[in-house]
Structure formats: structure tokens, C-alpha cells
Amino acid sequence: MKKLFIAGAILTFISCNQAQEKVSDTAILISNVTIIDVSTGELLPDRQMVIDSGKIKKIAVSIENEEVYKTIIDGQGKYALPGLAEMHAHIPSPPTSKERTEETLFLYLSNGITTIRGMLGHPSHLELRIAAEQGELLSPRIFTSSPSLNGNSVTSAEEAREKVIAYKIDGYDFLKIHPGIKRDVFDELVKTANESGISFSGHVPVDVGIEHALASKYASIDHVDGFLEGLVPKSENVNPNENGFFGYNFTKLADTTMIDELVELSKNNKVWIVPTQSLFERWFAPVDAEILLQQPEMKYMPASTLSEWRKRKEASTGPGTNFDKTQWETFIDIRRKLIYTLNKTGHGLLLGSDAPQLFNVPGFSIHHEMEGMLKSGLSPLEILQTGTVNPALFFDKESVFGQLKEGMAADILLVNSNPIEDIRALKDLAGVIVKGKWISKADIDQKLQQIAKNASAN
């Protein structure tokens, strides 16, 4: 009997050791964290989350042998949620330096953005996408558009067909539509895209119009482009080419009772909308350039960029431009009604700020975008969904990212307070995990200091 007891004890000791050996040196444990279910808003307190090989391996109330984990992140009092997606991003391309490109990608990460959709593609972005996928580049997950398809780059149906086929073969994730495309050329572009199995997103060319654009089933329409023009009654007989900045010139003619009809059309055709509202509340807005330039995040942008932003803002809203604050207030009110209704009864919204465009510093601008959504009547949870579960649905990647579940990508934002109560909590980071790599707040701050130093030198 004594021998049997000893043998059993030895087997128990061996099995315990084997259980401990199953935890790899690269595994990370986040202990006692509150997980936010961004689909429902439910809070799951005091959870233990195990991460390894870029995946969430386990989520449990308790876990054995915590001491065997070489990296333990104390999640007590903190909240974990999926990394955010910036669905209207811009990625630098040559001749921008490799260093500056990598810095831009880090600026996104520094604010918890672990997925970006690049909206002006370049062959170099295909290489960046691969490097990011293989973990050779510290970067968000990258989806990239084709180079711009616009009134100058596609002037005939034949040219449109050739370029769509070429961009599909090249491996771009989708096509980028810019203004100026004639309707017959656009229709050939759409026909070829459907035949080739590649989606298209972006602007609504004036000659196409919002109703035909929605019926053509864009994957997404960005900037809420074309919608305000679509609210102008046909009886007004306007020249569509006189619409101004995203329909601003037609503000006084817009009939907001027509919003529901356009939104229903977007829902029926399953067209997502990326508002980029921050552009219209910062660049095209009655706020002085100098006030924007004094914001802390501006130190991460080169002086030459800031100077260009100042000039372009003065050219669009400065003295002598006939910019009318009262008209702008009506314009913004209409946009907010559109955004609210598109979220409530349309196909849905995607979070995107159009960075780096004027005064929108990559990563940091997403907080301005969220503020614009909040002012439009969205709840913090609804805003979170536009940057997590909705992008996953958009890309047909619901099993890959957008939620915190076992087996899904370890792209995680760790914050110090609850963003469902106050969306501004997303600014107070404890750290970010991207593809299973932990970047602490201290590491983020150190890297940001270097980026600011480099920007000031350039």
C-alpha cells in the first residue's frame, strides 16, 4: 500500500509539472480584469485572460499556477476591450521615409487602434500589409485600397475596366473611388468590380449621385458624401457641380424630411457609412487654426505638415472665403441628423476620422471623431461598436477580431476606467496588445517622445 501511495504521488507530481510546462515562455496573463462585451455592453469582472501566439487562449474566472507565467499584467480596476479600427486611415507612401511610415503606424497603435483601412493605396502598402501580418512590423492590421480611381485616372469605360482588373490581380483589398468619374465610366467600373470579386468604397462622384451610388452597392460611402445633395428637392433645379464642400453650398435647400428615405436606401443595399465627422468640426469649421495647432498631439507632426494645414484651413474657412458660421451650424446639424439616423435605422456606421488629414493626427484624431459621434446622439456603446464589431462584420472577420473571445486575435485595449460610462476613458490607456505583443503605457510614452523629437527636427 505504501508503494502504491508513493507511485501515485510521483504521478501526481509529474502531471502537475507537465501542466505547468504547457505554459510557454511567451504566454501573457492579464489578471483580474473587467472584460467589456462590446456586442451587448455587458461587463465581465475579475476575469483571467491568457494570451499566446497572437491569440486569446483562455478567459476564465480563475486560473491555476499563475506563478508560472513570465509576463503578468495586473488588470485589477482596469477594463479590457477589443482594439479599435480606424476605417478611414491614410498610410504614408514613397518618398516618405521608412522611419516616418513606421512612426505613423505607431501613432495609430498608441491610441489603441489595432486595425486600419488605408484609403489611398500604393504598391508599398501591399508590402507593409504582409510585414504586419507576419509580425515583422509593429503595426495595426492593414487593409489597403487600390490607388485612386477618379476623373483623371479613369476617363473611359475601357480604362476603368483595365484598372479594376489590374488592381484585383495586384492584391488590393478594395477599390478607392474619388470624385470626377463620369456615370458611364462608373457603371463599367462597378460591373467589372462585381465580375472580378472586389468591392469599392469612398466618395460619390457628382455625376453618379447618392441614389445611384447606393443602388450600386458601395461597400462603404465615406464622409457621408452625397447625402446632403440628395436632400435637395429636384424642383430646385440646382447645378450639382455647385455643391461646394460635401454639399455645404446646398445647406439652405436641404429637406431633412427626406433623410429617412435615403437611409432606408442605404439599408436595403447594405451600404456602410464612415462619417469622418471630425473633418467637418475641425478643418471645415469656425475654429481658428492656431487653436488647433496648440493641441498636444500636433507635436507628432512635422512642421512642414502643420504649416500646410494652416494654409489650407485659411483657404477654406478664413477671411475672404465667404465661410458663414450660421450656415455651417445648419450644415453640421443636418450631418448630425444623418449620422444619428444612419446608425439607428441604416445599415450601420464605421469609425473613421480621415487621418492624417487637416488637424487629424493619426490615432489621436479618433477621439475627436468619437466626440463628433457623441454630439450626433450615439451612445458610448454604439460608438465602440462602430470601431470593433462593425468593422469585423464589414470585413467578414467576425471570428478573427472585434471581440474578446477565446481563439480570437489578441488585439486588446486596456484602459483605466469604463468607456461605456464615458467614451473619453479610451484616452487613459494602461497599454495595448497587438498581435499578442504587450505595449505598456510607459513604452508608448517613450516612443511618442522620440516621434515628437523627430518631428521637431524635420
Encoded amino acid at 45, one letter: P
Average pLDDT, stretch 311-318?
93
Helices (DSSP H) in 63-119: which residue ranges? 98-109
* Cβ atoms 140, 113 nearer than 8 A: yes
Among the listed residues 114, 110, 121, 107, the one whose alpha carbon sits nearest the alpha carbon of residue 455 = 107
pLDDT at position 452 = 97
Please give the grid coordinates belonging to residue 22. 504547457
pLDDT digits (tens, 9 = 90+) for 388-435: 999 999 999 999 999 999 999 999 999 999 999 999 999 999 999 999
pLDDT at position 266 = 98
Distance (Å, whole) CA 360 – CA 275 = 14
pLDDT at position 66 = 85
* Cβ atoms 450, 115 nearer than 8 A: no
pLDDT digits (tens, 9 = 90+) for 259-273: 999 999 999 999 999
pLDDT at position 223 = 98
User: Which bin fits 405, alpha (ψ -120 to 50), beta or left (φ > 0)?
Assistant: beta
pLDDT beyond 90 at 450 = yes
Distance (Å, whole) CA 318 – CA 47 = 53
CA distances from 341 to 52, 137, 224 (A): 41, 39, 12
Residue with the three cell numbers 486560473: 63
> Which of 83-92, 98-107, 197-206, 449-458 is least confident?
449-458
pLDDT at position 22 = 73
The ranges assigned to domains in the chain are: 83-399
pLDDT beyond 50 at 7 = no
**High-pLDDT (> 70) share of the chain, %:** 95
Q: 457 pLDDT band (50/70/90 cuts)?
A: confident
Q: Within the chain, what is the greatest distance between any pair of CA atoms? A: 100
pLDDT digits (tens, 9 = 90+) for 23-71: 888 999 999 999 999 999 999 999 999 999 999 999 999 998 888 999 9
pLDDT digits (tens, 9 = 90+) for 436-448: 999 999 999 999 9
Distance (Å, whole) CA 420 – CA 18 = 41
As beta bridge partners, residue 422 has none
pLDDT at position 19 = 44
pLDDT beyond 60 at 6 = no
Q: How many CB atoms lie within 10 A of CB 299?
A: 15
CATH topology of domain 83-399: TIM Barrel (3.20.20)
Percent of residues in the chain assigned helix, strand, coil, to nearest 5 = 45, 20, 35
Distance (Å, whole) CA 411 – CA 403 = 9
* Cβ atoms 107, 364 nearer than 8 A: yes
pLDDT digits (tens, 9 = 90+) for 360-388: 999 999 999 999 999 999 999 999 999 99
Distance (Å, whole) CA 80 – CA 420 = 12
Distance (Å, whole) CA 103 – CA 88 = 18
Distance (Å, whole) CA 43 – CA 79 = 9
Compute the mean pLDDT over every residue in the chain, rounded to the nearest whole number.
94
* Cβ atoms 211, 193 nearer than 8 A: no
